[in-house]
Amino acid sequence: MSNFAFSSLSDVLNMDGHGVYVWAVFSLFLITISTSFYIFNLLIKKYQKRVK
């Protein structure tokens, strides 16, 4: 049915030696997106209070 590129979880984490770089960039991406949503949410609440 489906062919997986990795045979185990350690293969996914290691990624033929490139895992450190891939997961570091992925982590930075998630942190950046999460921070952006948090700041945007704070700004929305701030301006909602101003409007009322």
C-alpha–C-alpha distance, residues 11 and 19, integer Å: 9
In 1-52 the beta strands, taken as DSSP E runs, fall at: none
Could you please report the per-residue DSSP string of 14-29? HGGGTHHHHHHHHHHH
Higher-scoring residue by pLDDT: 13, 37:
37
Which tens digits make up the pLDDT trace of 18-38? 999 999 999 999 999 999 999
Q: What is the pLDDT of residue 3?
A: 81
Residue 1: pLDDT over 70:
no
Residue indicated by tokens 């062919």: 3
The pTM assigned to this predicted structure is 0.73
**What is the CB neighbour count within 10 angstroms for residue 19?**
15
